[in-house]
Structure formats: C-alpha cells, structure tokens
C-alpha cells in the first residue's frame, strides 16, 4: 500500500426521485412535489420517500409520515414511487460516471464514489472534472447533482452535502480538520439519532468535540465504533473505493393496509412475498441457505426468526415451507399484525454449488 494521496469524488443526485418525476412531467415545474405512499386525504399509512425543495419549504422531508406531509401541504403533487423509472435513469447516470473514474463504487440508487487519483494532477483539475461531470449529467439527463471532492470517501461525502442543490465543494487535505470541526456529529457517516443522543449525554455536539475527546473514553463508551468516531472526526478514512459485489440478502416486506389478526390473510401475504423473493433470487442465479421471517405487531414491536437449512437451495418450495415453519413456531395469534417480511440470505455461488452436485 503506497502512501500516495488520494482524490475522491462523491456524486449525489439532487432530490433524485422527484427530479426524475419533474423531468418526465413539465406540469410539475415550480410546484411542491412528493414521491411516496398514497396520502389518502391524510389517512395514508406510509412515508415520504423524496420531496423537492419547494415541498421542503413546508417542512416536509424524507421518512416523514405521509399523513403529516398532507397536513403540512395538501396542495402538493403526490406521486407513487416508480422505482423502475428511477432505476433506468440511475443506470444511465452510473455508466456515465464510471468512465470518469479509475475506481468506481455505486453507493445507492443516486450516489456514487469515483476514485480519480491518477486521472487528475491536483485539486484544481479535480474541480474542473467535477464541473464537467455536472454538465454532462445536466445535458444528457436534465437533472442536477451535488458533488464533493476530498482526500477520502468520508470527506467527499460530507462535502457533497454542504451546498445543495447543484453544489460543488472541494476540501483539500490540509483543510479537512478545520472543515469538519464545526459540523454537528450527525453529519458523520454512521452517526444516526441514537449515537447522536449518546454523544450528547457526554457533552459532545460537534465533530470537533469528538476530535478533542479522549479516544480511550470514546472506546469505553462506544466500543470499536468509538475508535472509528475518533478517526473520522480527524478526517481519517482509509476505506477503498470499490465495486459493489453480489447482494448478500434479498427480501420483501409488506405493511398491511390495516393491522390484522386474520391468519389466512397473513399466510397468503407470506406466500406472495416468498414468491417475489424467489423470483428475484432466481433472476440473480443465487442459491440461499438461510430464510428469515419478520413480524411487526401493531405496537411496532418487531421480531425476526431465521433458519439456516443444511443445504443451499434455489427452490420456491423450500422457501415457502421454511417460512411457514418459522411463522407457525413463533407467531403470537392474539396480537394484531402490522407487517410481515421474507428474506433469503447466506448465498452460495452457483459455481460452488455445481461442485457439490
């Protein structure tokens, strides 16, 4: 491993799902747009997936219950999640981005890391490259993105979030610690609501507070995560930009329209979910060994039960049978059920499998 300085670019599409919807339907221009569950006049169950900036002005945001979004802005345009459409646009953009990078990592449907160390001489060239990327995406796909450039993935990702939408933020190695210090801890990767609360309890609010904290105390409080927090707070992240491999699990969940105790209904849903999982797994040419079922009751208490088969299989029958076994053993028939889910995992590659036969 050489000590060569790296330059990493993080590309993040701006409010991707609604941006695609707006592109497809010019009537949406200038209006608040929300992609997510059916609001059902304020009685809908699901959540907001994405909303555009106009909708954000009403206080709406991702993950918010759709019923609340309706209260805040009933006049917004509500659209269901058209995943196939976004998936298509995404793959166009990803193959466009890939050619700019020596190393490429798709992070999600609308984000990617590009390792460009050998493609650019310095940060000025990296910035010019970032502008070129923004131009090409806008020309070809008619949507904007925000880009962060930095010495590693962590800094590039945080930087891309600083100026949005249509932003570009470059953080050079020597500016990293100063850049991070005043930001709230929540901006760090892997720091969610729980970790934020826990940090607050020991008086830590900003990334700079973490950087100035005793690393051994952090480790006592957060285990290996504590060490990671300390390193991240100093802008240190050695993780590589690497191509994503095969999925490690494939699952389908379903939240019922209303909580139910009707077991026949629940078993039908599980069969349907098993079938969907099976089709997906079959398309990917995978064999699974582990089956997991998920049950969420009306009070949101959620349990998972899993069984690892003594063999890898690609048969629907095995999936459905195992799901039934697991549910029969663990389901509490006296409680109302809100959601059920089916997951397959512990995949054996087909190559390995062939050797065993």
Residues with catalytic roles: 111
- Partnered with residue 327 across adjacent β-strands are none
- Measured from the CB atom, the residue of 123 and 339 that comes closer to DNA is 339
**Binding span for DNA by CB under 7 A among 96-104, 168-176, 233-241, 339-347:** 339-347
**CB neighbours of residue 174 within 10 Å:** 8
Over the window 127 to 166, marking each residue x when it contacts DNA by CB under 7 A and - when it does not, the resulting string is ----------------------------------------
**Binding span for DNA by CB under 7 A among 42-50, 131-139, 263-271, 349-357:** 42-50
- Measured from the CB atom, the residue of 76 and 120 that comes closer to DNA is 76
**Binding span for DNA by CB under 7 A among 1-9, 18-26, 183-191, 201-209:** 183-191
Tell me the Ramachandran region of residue 168: left when phi exceeds 0, alpha when psi lies from -120 to 50, beta otherwise: beta
Q: How far is CA 339 from the centre of its chain?
A: 21
Q: How far is the CB of 194 from DNA (least distance, A)?
A: 3
Q: Give the helix/strand (H/E) hosting 70.
A: helix 66-72
Q: Is 253 in the site for DNA (CB under 7 A)?
A: yes
**Binding span for DNA by CB under 7 A among 1-9, 21-29, 148-156, 333-341:** 333-341
- Measured from the CB atom, the residue of 130 and 199 that comes closer to DNA is 199
Across the chain, which distance is largest between two alpha carbons, in Å? 66
Three-state SS for 264?
A: helix
Q: How far is the CB of 30 from DNA (least distance, A)?
A: 25
Q: Which of residues 22-41 bind DNA (CB under 7 A)?
A: 37
Report how far apart, in Å, the C-alpha atoms of 139 and of each of 91, 96, 104 are. Answer: 16, 12, 22
- Measured from the CB atom, the residue of 65 and 208 that comes closer to DNA is 65
Three-state SS for 238?
A: coil
Q: Report d(CA 215, CA 217) in Å as an integer.
A: 5
- Measured from the CB atom, the residue of 120 and 313 that comes closer to DNA is 313
Q: Are strands 145-150 and 8-13 parallel, antiparallel or unpaired?
A: antiparallel
* Contact of 319 with 286, CB cutoff 8 Å: no
Contact residues for 326 (Cβ-Cβ < 8 A; gap 6+):
291, 292, 293, 305, 306, 307
Q: Report d(CA 75, CA 73) in Å as an integer.
A: 5
Q: Report d(CA 166, CA 158) in Å as an integer.
A: 15
Binding residue for DNA, selected from 23, 24, 28, 47, defined by CB under 7 A: 47
Binding residue for DNA, selected from 117, 251, 260, 353, defined by CB under 7 A: 251
Q: Report d(CA 285, CA 272) in Å as an integer.
A: 20
Three-state SS for 191?
A: coil
Q: Which of residues 66-125 bind DNA (CB under 7 A)?
A: 67-68, 81, 107-111
Binding residue for DNA, selected from 142, 223, 272, 285, defined by CB under 7 A: 223
Q: How many residues touch DNA (CB under 7 A)?
A: 55
Q: Is 297 in the site for DNA (CB under 7 A)?
A: no
Q: Report d(CA 206, CA 4) in Å as an integer.
A: 30
- Measured from the CB atom, the residue of 35 and 170 that comes closer to DNA is 35
Binding residue for DNA, selected from 219, 307, 324, 335, defined by CB under 7 A: 307
Binding residue for DNA, selected from 82, 106, 117, 195, defined by CB under 7 A: 195
Binding residue for DNA, selected from 250, 266, 337, 348, defined by CB under 7 A: 250
Q: Is 224 in the site for DNA (CB under 7 A)?
A: yes
- Partnered with residue 260 across adjacent β-strands are 337
Note the residues at the interface with DNA (CB under 7 A). Answer: 37, 45-47, 49, 62-63, 65, 67-68, 81, 107-111, 189-196, 223-225, 247-255, 280, 289-290, 299-300, 302-308, 330, 338-339, 341, 343, 345-346
């Amino acid at each position: 491993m050489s000590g060569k300085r790296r330059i990493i670019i993080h590309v993040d599409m701006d409010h991707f799902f609604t941006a695609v919807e707006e592109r497809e339907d010019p009537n949406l221009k200038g209006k608040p747009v929300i992609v997510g569950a059916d609001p059902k006049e304020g009685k809908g169950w699901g959540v907001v997936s994405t909303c555009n900036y106009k909708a954000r002005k009403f206080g709406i945001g991702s993950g918010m219950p759709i019923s609340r979004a309706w209260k805040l802005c009933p006049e917004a345009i509500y659209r269901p999640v058209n995943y196939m459409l976004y998936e298509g646009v995404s793959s166009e953009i990803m193959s466009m981005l890939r050619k700019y990078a020596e190393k490429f990592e798709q992070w999600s449907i609308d984000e990617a890391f590009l390792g460009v160390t050998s493609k650019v001489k310095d940060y000025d060239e990296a910035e010019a490259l970032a502008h070129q990327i923004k131009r090409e995406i806008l020309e070809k796909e008619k949507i904007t993105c925000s880009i962060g450039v930095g010495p590693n993935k962590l800094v590039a990702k945080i930087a891309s979030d600083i100026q949005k939408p249509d932003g570009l933020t470059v953080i050079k190695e020597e500016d990293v610690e100063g850049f991070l210090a005043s930001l709230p801890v929540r901006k760090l990767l892997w720091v969610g609501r729980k970790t934020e609360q826990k940090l607050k309890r020991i008086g830590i609010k900003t990334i700079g507070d973490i950087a100035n904290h005793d690393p051994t105390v952090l480790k006592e409080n957060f285990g290996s995560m504590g060490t990671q927090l300390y390193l991240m707070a100093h802008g240190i992240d050695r993780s590589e930009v690497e191509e994503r491999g095969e999925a490690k699990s494939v699952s389908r969940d379903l939240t019922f329209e209303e909580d139910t105790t009707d077991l026949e209904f629940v078993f039908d849903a599980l069969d349907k979910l098993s079938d969907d999982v099976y089709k997906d797994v079959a398309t990917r040419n995978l064999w699974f060994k582990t089956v997991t079922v998920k049950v969420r009751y009306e009070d949101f208490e959620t349990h998972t039960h899993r069984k690892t088969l003594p063999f890898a299989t690609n048969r629907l029958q095995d999936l459905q049978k195992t799901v039934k076994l697991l549910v029969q053993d663990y389901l509490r028939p006296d409680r109302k059920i809100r959601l059920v889910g089916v997951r397959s995992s512990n995949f054996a590659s087909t190559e390995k499998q062939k050797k065993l036969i």
